[in-house]
A = this chain, B = another copy of it.
Amino acid sequence: MSSTIPILLTGLCFLLLTPSCCSGSRILVVPVDGSHWINMEVILRELHSRGHEITVLRSAKSWYVPSQSPIYTSINVTMLEDESDKDYYNKMLQNVMECRKSLNFLRSFCQRRLLTSMLAKGHKILARAAATMLDDPVFMKKLKDAKFDLMLTDPGLTIGVLLGSYLKLPMVFNVRWINTGESHFTIAPSPVSYIPVQGTELQDRMDFPERTKNVLHYLFSLVEQHFIINAAYSDLLQRHFPPGTDLLSLEYAADIWLVRADFVFEFPRPTMPNVVYIGGFQCKEARPLPAELEAFMQSSGEHGVVVMSLGTFVSALPPDVTEAIAAAFAELPQKVVWRFVGEKPSSLGNNTLLVKWLPQNDILGHPKTRAFVAHGGTNGMYESIYHGVPVVGLPLLFDQFDNLHRLKVRGAAQTVEVNSVTKEDFLEALKDILDTPSYRSNIQRLSKLHHDRPMSPMDTAIFWIEYVIRNKGAAHLQAAGFSLPWYSYFCLDVALLITAVIGAFVWVSVLVCQILCCRRFRRKMKAE
């Protein structure tokens, strides 16, 4: 399946087969900035090529989303980026590194506390940003008059969900996560006994202490969802939505969830019929590298090349860590391509090429590539699976710990702790990955399974987006349970009734027995 012919054929078949009724539809897009934008843009390109008109809401201070684009029209609005800065993540990183020094069991709770405080701050900003739009009748009229056919949004941030719901648009989510409790609240009922809560670094097979940790995280996520996230929007929702609306109920109402996951990577979990998995949809066959880079790759000979990139977090490592990494690289027989910004490490070896940017997908698909040193961002993980390259992980923030844990459990990765890594640790992990054949064979098995699907994830995504446009929603795929109050959802009212009936039956039985016994006793007494 590694040749391009099947992919071309899939594309051709998809074009031939899909009803073209909704070409030229108007799609309103509210993306999440940063690495999430990469996942949105690739879909927008495809939608544009199929003749749809796209309007993107972005912040004037956006980090990644260009204001000018041949594929969409943009409108500047207030977003998260207006009140936060990229440096925020560096501060967050320092705090997470502190957490990583705690005991194993406590570490994830420390990180969750940080995440909760970040969410509290972020959702307050988002609620204010959404309010500036919803409270502005001129702006809202402009959006209404545009008669959009669809809201396509990444619900990682909530503005798209709020606007889409307010405008009563059919809604498709392009989503990696929405908040810490997403899987358990919105995607499907998810038993905590085998579905690890985000941020726990657990797998689907847990022992008793691990299940306890998972349950505690789940309870925290409930509190977080209801008292921090939902609470941030209560005023706004009260002003602009019917009584009783909360953020979760708006998220439940999405027609289709395009979830950026695949079960060669994620642990199997229940799913509602309106959830479609498109993990790895942004991956592509490798294109030829620039001549200079290709020459460097070829110069590695039989040993091959190690590729290192931390994506958005390219400049996140402290100098002592980059020194240790550079020194470890210097001892490898392999050559190294390292995406690096900052002061050149003094211990850098001759075998290591520093580059400010690299064509990550193309270099991972190069036959000389032997290992990928990565921070564990979702995009990079799917690219390593797609191209079958084992990983040495340096997780820094968010879901990166969980992501790398997934590959590690499957024998396709090793991880090192950034806050305590030494040259020796890093070299050991690298050599393990490079010299033990099982890492390569494991990730190539995952790669084979990842490619073995009835339809490419991109075609799947496009099909379901156009499906929602064609059918003006997908209400018949949404679970009815979401509209129930919690005590009815868990049938506690029925349990109470059944208990009461059984209780009454037992009570009456005991009473009858007592009366009968008393009578017999009295008779006996009389007889005596």
Contact = CB atoms under 8 A, between A and B. Distances in A.
Interface of A: 1, 6, 9-10, 12-13, 16-17, 19, 188-195, 204-205, 208, 211-212, 215-216, 263-264, 267-274, 277, 448-449, 452, 454-455, 459-460, 463-464, 467, 470-471, 476-481, 483-484, 488-491, 493-495, 497-498
Given A211-B494, A268-B272, A494-B208, A481 B194 contact: yes
A283 B455 CA distance: 22
B17 A9 contact: yes
Q: Which 10 A-B pairs have the closest CB atoms?
A: A13-B13, A194-B481, A204-B480, A270-B270, A188-B270, A194-B480, A454-B463, A215-B494, A189-B189, A268-B273
Contacts of A204: 479-481
A273 B449 CA distance: 14
A191 B189 CA distance: 8
A493 B208 contact: yes
17 contacts: A19-B452, A189-B189, A191-B481, A193-B484, A194-B489, A208-B494, A211-B493, A211-B494, A212-B498, A269-B479, A270-B270, A270-B271, A270-B479, A273-B277, A452-B467, A452-B470, A454-B459
Nearest to A490: B193
Nearest to A13: B13
Contacts of A497: 212
A484 B208 CA distance: 11
Q: How many copies does the complex hold?
A: 2
Contacts of A193: 481, 484, 488-491
A80 B195 CA distance: 39
Given A1-B19, A9-B13, A188-B188, 14 more contacts: A188-B189, A189-B191, A191-B490, A194-B484, A204-B480, A204-B481, A205-B480, A211-B488, A212-B494, A212-B497, A215-B491, A268-B273, A269-B272, A452-B467
Contacts of A476: 263-264, 268, 449
Contacts of A498: 212, 215-216
